[in-house]
Amino acid sequence: MPSKKNIKPTFQSVKGMHDILPQEQPYWDKVRKAAKDIADYYNFSRIDTPIVERAELFERTSGESSEVVERQMFVFKDKDDNRLALRPEGTAPVARAYVQNGLSRLPHPLKLFYLFPMFRYEQPQAGRARQHHQIGFEIIGDNSDPVYDAQTILVAYRLAEELKIPKLSIQINSIGCKNCRPIFKKKLLDYYKNQEPCKDCKRRLTVNPMRVLDCKNEVCQPIKQGAPTTIDSLCGYCNNHFKSVLEYLEELKLPYSLNNSLVRGLDYYSRTVFEIVAEGVDVSLGGGGRYDYLVEQLGGRPTAANGFGMGVERLILAMQKAGVQLNPKVKPKVFFIQIGALAKKKSLPLIEGLRKLNIEVLESLGKESLKPQLRLADKETAKLALIFGQKEAFEESIIIRDLQTGAQETVQLKKLVEEIKKRI
Ligand code: HAM
């Protein structure tokens, strides 16, 4: 056999797309369970949408000039010449499904949640992959009531808190509505006329000026500091709306800070936008906001909505960074050992009988002799081994061996369950 060092895999997974190995699954189980528990508690129903959508769905809603659409979408043509995209985000597909399936007939607000993979053609680095998974929560049909902005933020915060991620905080901003945003954009353009920003920002100013506030380039930092803020340009309605959201957060005693440069990367947002961050983790764990025009844009009636998405991989990264311990409840297991042809033949039905009675059985039926099977039983940290040899198969009996003390006893097969239960 070649040594491990000499093995050269014929294929590697696609760049930026990762396997989730058995040893990582307990984290995933924990995150999935926390998301499901929170969804149940706050009354969100699960929705799933296809991985592939028309590329135009994202181009129109996230915006042609957004990073996601401009640089990160996996786009391809099917055999009927349709331009399709691997889903880069979940909000537009959920809004599409809401309109297409007439979900407006259901009682409102309609609360939906999902957990599925997303695809973005990014430069892979810590917390940034080409396939990632998001937990999304969306509240649709809420009359723009600020109480729901606060509830969305609360749910996002609780989810991270439930996973024991320490030092969480909320970054929040309001980017106004269709009435006040054009006024802000004009102010911003006027201000930047007299500045010398980076090359990217020069381009942003022509395609999507709001994004200059998001620029990370050093040249732009002092410029950004003097730039007008969205908050100063809010109309009366948006201003009161934002104040109300903050009052709710204060009532909840959630730690938030205003972030003038938070504009989010997707075009469908209006008014409240937020991100959840954890100290010591460079990337944000989740983000979201209000998107009151999206459903209408997709052919539905004007319908206010808001929500958030959290990256599962980033949540796990933050848990691991913080040394969060998982305490999986290990069900005591028994290890089944067989020796000889007759015993092997009778093994499968015997194990099936135990499974029906909810006794979890480990085995290594492909092995022949006692020693390697016992060694595996030890490795798996089973409490008991059941040893079924030729003699036992004839006599309808089996040996129960306590793997900690080494004590063993032969019992009749018909009494096996009773005897196992006595010992575990
Ligand atoms: P987003 O901020 O683009 O928002 O993504 C949400 C979260 O997904 C991020 O905060 C991050 O945790 C995770 N994420 C995004 N890209 C990557 C990546 N390349 N690798 C790993 N994790 C990533 C949205 O997608 C909106 N649809 C959220 C939303 C829902 N807004 C309203 N409802």
pTM, 2 dp: 0.92
| Residue showing tokens 């052919």 | 299
Q: Is 181 in the pocket of ligand 1 (CB under 6 A)?
A: no
Is the beta carbon of 141 within 6 A of some atom in ligand 1? Answer: no
Which residue's CA is the nearest one to ligand 1's atom 20? 128
Ligand 1 pocket, residue 18 CB under 6 Å: no
Q: What number does the ligand 1 atom closest to the CA of 127 have? A: 21
Q: How far is the CA of 89 from the centre of ligand 1 (A)?
A: 7
Q: Which residues of 169-206 are buried (b: 16+ CB within 10 A; e: fewer)?
A: ebbbbbbbbeebbeebbebbeeebeebebbeebeebbe
CA nearest ligand 1 atom 9, residue = 286
Residue nearest ligand 1's atom 29 by CA: 308
Q: Give the burial class of 255: count Cβ atoms within 10 A of its Cβ; 0-12 exposed, 13-18 middle, 19 or more buried.
A: exposed
CA of 240 relative to ligand 1 center, distance in Å: 28
Measured in Å, residue 136 CA sits from the centre of ligand 1 at 9
Is 267 a pocket residue for ligand 1 (Cβ < 6 Å)?
Answer: no
User: Which of 132, 271, 290 is the best mutation target for the ligand 1 pocket, counting ligand atoms within 8 Å of the beta carbon and taking the most?
Assistant: 132
What residue owns the CA closest to ligand 1's atom 25?
A: 89
Q: Which of 94, 125, 134 to mutate to test the pocket of ligand 1 (most atoms within 8 A of CB)?
A: 134
C-alpha 168 – ligand 1 centre gap (Å)? 17
88 CB within 6 A, ligand 1: no
Indicate the length of the chain as a whole number: 424
Res 328: pLDDT: 67
Q: With a 6 A CB cut-off, is 214 part of the ligand 1 pocket?
A: no
388, burial (CB in 10 Å: exposed 0-12, middle 13-18, buried 19+): buried
For the chain, residues with pLDDT lower than 70 are 1-4, 328-332
Looking at ligand 1, which residue's alpha carbon is closest to its atom 5?
Answer: 309
Pocket lining: 197 vs ligand 1, CB cutoff 6 Å: no
Q: What is the dihedral of CA 242, 248, 254, 258, to 10 degrees?
A: 10
Residue whose CA is at the smallest distance from ligand 1 atom 21:
128
Query: Cis peptide leading into 22, omega within 30 of 0?
Result: no
List the residue whose alpha carbon is closest to atom 22 of ligand 1. 311
C-beta 309 within 6 A of ligand 1: yes
Atom of ligand 1 nearest to the CA of 288: 31
Nearest to 263 by CA among 181, 143, 144: 181
Q: How far is the CA of 286 from the centre of ligand 1 (A)?
A: 6
Indicate whether residue 285 lines ligand 1 (CB < 6 A).
Answer: yes
CA-nearest residue, atom 12 of ligand 1? 311
Separation of CA 310 and ligand 1 centre (Å) = 6
Q: How far is the CA of 301 from the centre of ligand 1 (A)?
A: 26
Place of tokens 């399709």: 84
- The alpha carbon of 264 and the centre of ligand 1 are apart by a number of angstroms equal to 10
